[in-house]
């Protein structure tokens, strides 16, 4: 029953479009530790479904980061406690596997409800009844531009602001290697519809909490570099001492800017669901190197230049093993170049 469809607007599956048009009570959900593309595609999908006349619930397991609260519709997002089973459709955005929805998706209560997956991660496990997975798109928000076309809806300023935010954040403001002419074309259309690029960039990419700088100050003295792999450990005691409340420490994107590095990693100490130790790993790679494969092998997901996974165990157990895999990925990249 799984169906895959390409990203071209003309090729969007009729069953997907019909399902969207005919649903009345829709739950839209994106991934844990939400980023700009998660928030942009979630709020954007909310506006699309509203235009189609549906009653829509937007849900995220985790809090919306302060720098993304400006998104129109972000204030309406609910958490796991407000979720029921009274929906006729669930739309999952920007999440590469079913567990990425966290506690919002309940396999027992929700199994009978059609689940549509809309995502651009090449590692997507195609866990929906209809799966629209387009790895050639730089953001899930880019896919929604084509969806809007297929549904025959106009782009307005509200929707364009949501969608451009995802495009800007996932491409680090059009700097990633997957930023092609199609991405720029989509961005141009969103700007023509009223989205303000400089405002979105300033809000979503150029703002950080003061506590984050305190955390960087605590962890950066222990940064390590070996065979072109740069990494850092972040302890729970350190995030606590810095007063950090969200999990995103935004370090892997900074570490990859080191001249000597081709791959970066951040190992963030966590408590697993079962109360045991776990490590949240975040990877970045320069063009020509693939950390998406490494994350996928470790049970996570992502893209060649940016990926992540969560592994049970202490940092001492997890980090050395993962660094070894990253060194292998680097050697593979060097051999191919
Ligand atoms: Mn994305």
* Interval 169-227: pLDDT, tens: 999 999 988 899 999 999 999 999 999 999 999 999 988 889 999 999 999 999 999 99
- Please indicate, yes or no, whether residues 124 and 25 belong to a single structural domain of this protein: yes
Residue at 3 is within a domain:
no
Residue at 1 is within a domain:
no
- Please indicate, yes or no, whether residues 217 and 260 belong to a single structural domain of this protein: yes
Residue at 320 is within a domain:
yes
Using CA atoms, how far apart are residues 123 and 293, in angstroms rounded to an integer? 8
CA of 38 to the centre of ligand 1 (A): 6
For residue range 156-178, what is the model confidence (pLDDT) as tens digits? 999 999 999 999 999 999 998 88
Using CA atoms, how far apart are residues 323 and 326, in angstroms rounded to an integer? 5
Using CA atoms, how far apart are residues 8 and 30, in angstroms rounded to an integer? 22
CA of 229 to the centre of ligand 1 (A): 24
CA of 221 to the centre of ligand 1 (A): 31
Within 10 A of 76 (CB to CB), how many other CB atoms are there?
A: 12
CA of 163 to the centre of ligand 1 (A): 11
CA of 103 to the centre of ligand 1 (A): 20
Buried b (16+ CB within 10 A) or exposed e, 34-53: bbbbbbbbbbbbbbbbeebe
- Please indicate, yes or no, whether residues 177 and 263 belong to a single structural domain of this protein: no
**DSSP structural state of residue 59:** E
CA of 26 to the centre of ligand 1 (A): 21
Does residue 169 sit in helix, strand or coil? helix
- Give the end of a domain, one of 167, 189, 204: 204
- Please indicate, yes or no, whether residues 147 and 173 belong to a single structural domain of this protein: yes
CA of 335 to the centre of ligand 1 (A): 29
Q: How many domains does the chain have?
A: 2
Q: Which residues contact 151 (CB under 8 A, 6 or more apart)?
A: 17, 20, 21, 48, 52
- Please indicate, yes or no, whether residues 83 and 144 belong to a single structural domain of this protein: yes
CA of 35 to the centre of ligand 1 (A): 8
CA of 22 to the centre of ligand 1 (A): 26
Burial class (CB in 10 A: 0-12, 13-18, 19+), 82: exposed
Q: Which residues contact 316 (CB under 8 A, 6 or more apart)?
A: none
Q: What's the pLDDT at 57?
A: 98
CA of 238 to the centre of ligand 1 (A): 28
CA of 58 to the centre of ligand 1 (A): 17
CA of 37 to the centre of ligand 1 (A): 5
Q: Are 68 and 39 in contact (CB under 8 A)?
A: yes
CA of 65 to the centre of ligand 1 (A): 16
CA of 25 to the centre of ligand 1 (A): 25
- Structural domain including 94 reads 9-204
CA of 127 to the centre of ligand 1 (A): 17
Q: What's the pLDDT at 79?
A: 97
- Give the end of a domain, one of 204, 237, 252: 204
CA of 30 to the centre of ligand 1 (A): 10
**DSSP structural state of residue 163:** H
Burial class (CB in 10 A: 0-12, 13-18, 19+), 112: exposed
CA of 141 to the centre of ligand 1 (A): 8
CA of 36 to the centre of ligand 1 (A): 8
Q: Are 289 and 304 in contact (CB under 8 A)?
A: yes
Instruction: Write out residues in the chain with pLDDT < 50, as ranges.
Output: 1-7
- Residue 220: CATH number of its domain: 3.10.310.30
- Please indicate, yes or no, whether residues 271 and 189 belong to a single structural domain of this protein: no
- Please indicate, yes or no, whether residues 237 and 183 belong to a single structural domain of this protein: no
CA of 201 to the centre of ligand 1 (A): 16
- Please indicate, yes or no, whether residues 85 and 123 belong to a single structural domain of this protein: yes
CA of 97 to the centre of ligand 1 (A): 13
* Look-up of token digits 């992502």: 302
**DSSP structural state of residue 24:** S
Q: What's the pLDDT at 8?
A: 53
- Kindly report whether the global pTM for this prediction surpasses the value 0.85: yes
- Please indicate, yes or no, whether residues 101 and 198 belong to a single structural domain of this protein: yes
- Give the end of a domain, one of 185, 204, 223: 204
CA of 146 to the centre of ligand 1 (A): 15
- Please indicate, yes or no, whether residues 113 and 41 belong to a single structural domain of this protein: yes
Does residue 268 sit in helix, strand or coil? strand
Q: How far apart are the first and last CA of the chain?
A: 40
Residue at 298 is within a domain:
yes
Instruction: HSE, CB side, 13 Å, CA atoms: give it for residue 297.
Output: 12
Q: What's the pLDDT at 1?
A: 33
CA of 217 to the centre of ligand 1 (A): 29
Using CA atoms, how far apart are residues 84 and 92, in angstroms rounded to an integer? 16
231-236 CB contacts, 8 Å cutoff, 24+ apart? 231/255, 231/264, 231/265, 231/266, 231/267, 231/319, 231/323, 231/326, 232/265, 232/266, 232/267, 233/267, 233/269, 233/315, 233/319, 234/266, 234/267, 234/268, 234/269, 235/269, 235/315, 236/269, 236/270, 236/271
- Please indicate, yes or no, whether residues 178 and 302 belong to a single structural domain of this protein: no
Using CA atoms, how far apart are residues 2 and 127, in angstroms rounded to an integer? 8
Strands, E, within 120-222: which ranges? 130-133
Q: What's the pLDDT at 209?
A: 85
- Please indicate, yes or no, whether residues 176 and 214 belong to a single structural domain of this protein: no
CA of 316 to the centre of ligand 1 (A): 30
Q: What's the pLDDT at 10?
A: 53
CA of 161 to the centre of ligand 1 (A): 16
**DSSP state letters, 224-262:** EEETTEEEEEE-HHHHHHTT--SS----HHHHTTSTT-S
Instruction: HSE, CB side, 13 Å, CA atoms: give it for residue 9.
Output: 13
Q: Which of 44, 52, 162, 129 is nearest to 93 (CA)?
A: 44
């Amino acid at each position: 029953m799984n169906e895959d469809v390409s990203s071209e607007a003309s090729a969007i599956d009729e069953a997907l479009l019909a399902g969207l048009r005919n649903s009345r009570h829709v739950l839209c959900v994106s991934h844990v530790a939400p980023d700009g593309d998660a928030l942009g595609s979630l709020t954007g999908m909310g506006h699309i479904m509203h235009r189609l006349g549906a009653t829509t619930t937007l849900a995220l397991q985790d809090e919306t980061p302060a720098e993304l609260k400006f998104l129109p519709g972000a204030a309406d997002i609910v958490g796991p406690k407000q979720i029921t089973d009274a929906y006729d459709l669930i739309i999952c955005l920007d999440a590469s596997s079913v567990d990425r929805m966290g506690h919002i998706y309940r396999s027992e209560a929700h199994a009978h409800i059609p689940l549509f997956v809309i995502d651009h991660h090449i590692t997507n496990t195609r866990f929906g009844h209809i799966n629209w997975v387009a790895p050639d798109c730089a953001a899930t928000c880019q896919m929604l531009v084509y969806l809007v076309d297929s549904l025959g809806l106009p782009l307005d300023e509200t929707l364009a602001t949501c969608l451009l935010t995802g495009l800007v954040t996932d491409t680090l403001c059009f700097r990633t290697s997957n930023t092609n002419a199609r991405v720029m074309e989509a961005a141009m259309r969103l700007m023509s519809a009223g989205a303000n690029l400089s405002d979105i960039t300033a809000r979503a990419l150029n703002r950080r909490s003061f506590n984050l700088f305190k955390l960087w100050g605590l962890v950066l003295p222990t940064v390590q570099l070996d065979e072109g792999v740069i990494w850092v450990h972040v302890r729970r005691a350190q995030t606590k001492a810095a007063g950090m409340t969200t999990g995103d420490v935004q370090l892997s994107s900074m570490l990859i800017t080191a001249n000597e590095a081709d791959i970066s990693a951040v190992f963030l100490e966590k408590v697993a669901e079962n109360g045991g130790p776990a490590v949240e790993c975040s990877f970045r790679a320069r063009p020509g190197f693939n950390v998406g494969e490494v994350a996928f092998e470790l049970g996570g997901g992502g893209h060649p230049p940016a990926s992540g996974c969560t592994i049970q165990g202490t940092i001492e157990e997890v980090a050395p093993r993962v660094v070894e895999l990253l060194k292998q990925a680097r050697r593979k990249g060097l051999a191919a170049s």
